[in-house]
Structure 1
Amino acid sequence: MTKNTTGKFQFLDEPGEHGKVFAAYEHVKLYSAFQPIYSLSHCRVVGYEGLLRAIDGRRQVSPYQIFSLARDEASIVHLDRLSRALHLRNFCSMGRESADWLFLNVDPRVIVQGRQYGAFFRQLLEENDMPPERVVVEIMEGAIDDELQLSESVGFYKDLGCLVAIDDFGAGQSNFERIWRLSPDIVKLDRSMIVQAMQKPMARRLLPGIVSLIHEAGSLVLIEGIETLEEAMVAMETDVDLVQGHYFGMPAHTLNEAQSENKIFSLFERYQASSALDASQKCLTYYRGAFMQAVAQLQAGALPELAFHKLLLLNGADRCYMLDQQGVQLGSSYLADRAEMSTDRRYRPLADGSGAVWLRRPYLRRALQNPGSLQMTRPYLSIATGKLCVTLSMAIVLHGQVSILCFDFNWVDEGFGIK
């Protein structure tokens, strides 16, 4: 075994183990493991997260135990920097010529106090000939209370040319305000979010919206901690960009690209055949005939209460109503017989929709943009009933004027309110 040093760090290169560099910290031997990160759309590895592993004699030691050995601020900064240097050296020693990212964690305490201990990261990248654009710096923002220091640290890594990822979003005190202010390149959703989505239908329904909101803020989204096929399918439903977890690939000393590509292809096959895609078709098949019959009867001059009769008899039906081009409701809603019983009484002040302006609703905008085409919303909270519903809408011409026919039906967490 030969010893060599880089700066203040001591590395141990073991013969016969290509690409495997160790480091010493007190009496413990440190080494790197790399967990692959996949792009679902590209069906391949696009990066690896460097994870610290340690051995004390023959006993495995957890990263938490290792950092507990650092009893003061200077030791914490030293160990954090040693870990990043170790991962970067191992990653570069494996002869990677591709554009894959290397994800590196920075201890929150180092984010706040690290600059007091001199320059480090720029020189580290230069010494290893590592292009900064291939490095993703992970910051656990929820653990940092100093907002100014957090913003300055994010700016520092971005100015270097690195990408910045907010880690463990959804755990602890994470909030969207920091995403809007920091503008991270990647947001890593904590495993707790996928666990909640598996356990609670409401969380599963909301998760795609959270991903969409982060996308609109200008960040890619990575879900970490995916361990099972079922969790991977939930990730597929969310339009998430990147995935990481034991289901796709375990941490390893080597960089294995192809180990889970077949799994991703099979996920797409399952997704295409799953209810995630055919639920909307099931809904349209169930309601389309009665909806189109109501349209034909209205255009033939029938009174709305007669035209809507068959549609409102269908299982799950709640109400029908008409809007003008400005989104103003024309008269009262026409309710299914059981609608009054299912309405949350606490929302009664909002039940009468006559004259209400629904201009902001997506079902109005989509109908006006696609006249004569049946539109369907995602589930949302009905202001009239206090319950989840889905709205079908269509812009039609009645008496020479454009009107929008809307039909609300109930949604339950297991799916549409139909059998």
Structure 2
Amino acid sequence: MIPLTIPQLVDRASTHPFLGEHLRMGTGIRADEAVARFDNVEIGSSYEPIFDITVHALAQSLSSAPESADRFGDELGFQAITQQLDGTESDTFDPFEQVADDQQLVALDRMSRAMHAINFFGPQRHGLLFLRVHERLLKSVRYDHGRHFSTVLMSFGLNPSRIVIELPPAAVAHRTFLGYLTKSYQHYGFKVAGNLPNAGQILSVSDMARLDFIKMDAPSALRDSMVKPLVGYANRLKIPLIFNRVTTEAQFDLLQQYDVRFVQGPLFVVHENRLA
């Protein structure tokens, strides 16, 4: 089957009773992308890479002149970030914080995830697409988490197995709920990542849920001297551990000392932009 382009995916979304009302092709610098409008706010997609730093080329690219680096290492995938398109895009924008009604929250979440998937798969990006799920959404949808989104993706001809549903720390902190959510999303074809609320929470991960990925805040782990124990325990679980929010080269250098494999954060976006 020939993969659909972004315009073709947006056209297919136009037949959907909800997505067709909100999704469209952008204009100006966003003319080749899907954008969405919800409650007078226009949003778009950006993507933060998740890198495998065991690839030698990455270490070289951070220490060498950017123009001399042939490639920036291997990407495990990309974290989708929702941006408000008001002329001053910001990675910190969170449209979900503006929505008080739970049903509107569900609608906004479904719309933004569909938009991110279209903008990711349309250009035939490689790797995995990581999509955050808001804590309130998990409480608003009572059962069959992942069923609706899986159905939408398959109607677009897209594969749910290349999408990682990223659960918030509050969900990971509740072992029974975490187990239910993980099994439900995996049942509908998705992979699942859990954001640890703290380093100690990794001890309960394997009891109730077999996560596909674990994510941990790098500055917190470094501050608490927990990188080495986290790496060791994750290796015993055989679950890939991603350290995110890496902002400085000093943090990156420290992580390398503990055989960290996957990293994500503003530092790598800066270097990627230099290499573009």
State the TM-score, normalizing by the size of structure 2. 0.76
Q: Which runs of 4+ in 1 moved over 6 A?
A: none
Matched, 1:109 2:136: yes
| Kept in 1: contact 2:42–2:84 (CA 8 A) | yes
Matches within 5 A, 1:79-98: 79-96=108-125, 98=126
- Larger helix fraction of residues: 2
Deviation, structure 1 residue 212: 0.8
Matched, 1:14 2:38: no
Matched, 1:50 2:80: yes
For residue 138 of structure 1, what is the amino acid of its counterpart?
E
Question: Take 1:124 and 1:210, find their aligned partners in 2: how far apart are those partners?
Answer: 36
Deviation, structure 1 residue 235: 1.3
For residue 127 of structure 1, what is the amino acid of its counterpart?
S
Among 90, 93, 101, the alignment partner of 1:72 is 101
| Kept in 2: contact 1:140–1:167 (CA 8 A) | yes
Among 155, 164, 167, the alignment partner of 1:136 is 164
Aligned residues: 244
Cα gap change, 1:165 to 1:65, in 2 (>3 Å): closer
Cα gap change, 1:239 to 1:19, in 2 (>3 Å): farther
Cα gap change, 1:241 to 1:148, in 2 (>3 Å): same
For residue 163 of structure 2, what is the amino acid of its counterpart?
V
| Kept in 2: contact 1:185–1:218 (CA 8 A) | no
Show the counterpart of 1:165.
Answer: 193
- Larger strand fraction of residues: 1
Deviations 1:379-414 (A, max 9, x none): xxxxxxxxxxxxxxxxxxxxxxxxxxxxxxxxxxxx
Matches within 5 A, 1:227-306: 227-250=247-270, 259=275
Cα gap change, 1:20 to 1:210, in 2 (>3 Å): same
Deviations 1:32-78 (A, max 9, x none): 0101111122332221010111134x455776552132111111111
Question: Take 2:32 and 2:180, find their aligned partners in 1: how far apart are those partners?
Answer: 34
For residue 210 of structure 2, what is the amino acid of its counterpart?
S
Deviation, structure 1 residue 145: 6.6
Among 240, 245, 250, the alignment partner of 1:225 is 245
Question: Take 1:63 and 1:246, find their aligned partners in 2: how far apart are those partners?
Answer: 12
Matched, 1:33 2:46: yes
Question: Take 2:41 and 2:237, find their aligned partners in 1: how far apart are those partners?
Answer: 42
Deviations 1:240-262 (A, max 9, x none): 221111221259xxxx79949xx
- SS class of match (1:239): coil
| Kept in 2: contact 1:34–1:50 (CA 8 A) | yes
For residue 208 of structure 2, what is the amino acid of its counterpart?
R
Question: Take 1:231 and 1:146, find their aligned partners in 2: how far apart are those partners?
Answer: 30
Show the counterpart of 1:183.
Answer: 210
- SS class of match (2:253): helix
Matched, 1:122 2:150: yes
Cα gap change, 1:14 to 1:60, in 2 (>3 Å): closer
| Kept in 2: contact 1:92–1:128 (CA 8 A) | no
Unaligned regions of 5+ residues in structure 2, if any? 1-9, 56-72
| Kept in 1: contact 2:173–2:197 (CA 8 A) | no
- SS class of match (1:120): helix
| Kept in 2: contact 1:169–1:188 (CA 8 A) | no
Cα gap change, 1:258 to 1:212, in 2 (>3 Å): farther
Question: Take 1:31 and 1:166, find their aligned partners in 2: how far apart are those partners?
Answer: 24
Question: Take 1:179 and 1:117, find their aligned partners in 2: how far apart are those partners?
Answer: 22
**Identity of paired residues, percent?**
21
Bigger Rg, which one: 1
For residue 178 of structure 1, what is the amino acid of its counterpart?
V
- SS class of match (1:86): helix
Matches within 5 A, 1:143-158: 143=171, 147-158=175-186
Deviations 1:16-35 (A, max 9, x none): 64641110011110000101
State the TM-score, normalizing by the size of structure 1. 0.52
Deviation, structure 1 residue 146: 5.8
Unaligned regions of 5+ residues in structure 1, if any? 198-202, 261-419
Q: Which has the higher contact order (CA 8 A, sep 6+)?
A: 2
| Kept in 1: contact 2:80–2:130 (CA 8 A) | yes
Question: Take 2:236 and 2:46, find their aligned partners in 1: how far apart are those partners?
Answer: 33
For residue 241 of structure 2, what is the amino acid of its counterpart?
V
For residue 18 of structure 2, what is the amino acid of its counterpart?
K
- SS class of match (1:33): strand
Question: Take 2:105 and 2:160, find their aligned partners in 1: how far apart are those partners?
Answer: 24
- RMSD (Å) for aligned C-alpha atoms: 3.1
